[in-house]
Amino acid sequence: MIIEIKNKKKSYLVNLILIIIYLTIWFEFIIFYYSEHINYGTNKLIYVKENNPQIYVLGFLLFLKNVFQWILNVYLIFISKNIIFNKFFK
């Protein structure tokens, strides 16, 4: 649906939403492979007990992904609000 809107309207907001969607997907990919690389799934207690810098990197990557997801959610709320109000007032 967003690609259809992008093709009809050349909007800065739609381009920004697409960039944020791609960034969120890439951060999921990076986080998954980084957590597999440091064996976070099997060694969680080791990372909790020690001040390991690898867990700080993983936490920072998770923070960035969540920031992008929250920005995307806010934009999608505004878009859905506009769609709903346009349908009611037509």
**How many residues comprise the chain?**
90
Q: For the residues of 24-71, what is the DSSP string, one character each? A: HHHHHHHHHHHHHHTTTTT-HHHHHHTT-HHHHHHHHHHHHHHHHHHH
Cα dist from 37 to 26, 32, 47, whole Å: 16, 9, 14
pLDDT one-digit tens code per residue, 13-46: 777 888 888 888 888 888 888 888 877 767 666 6
What's this model's pTM, rounded to 2 decimal places?
0.67
2: pLDDT strictly greater than 60: no
Helix (H) or strand (E) holding 85: helix 53-88
Q: How many degrees, rounded to 5, is the angle at CA 24 between CA 23 and CA 25?
A: 90
Distance CA 23, CA 40 (A): 23
Average predicted confidence (pLDDT) for the chain: 78
Domain boundaries, the chain: 2-88
Question: Does 65 have pLDDT greater than 70?
Answer: yes
% residues pLDDT > 70 (the chain): 73
66: pLDDT confidence band, cut at 50, 70 and 90? very high
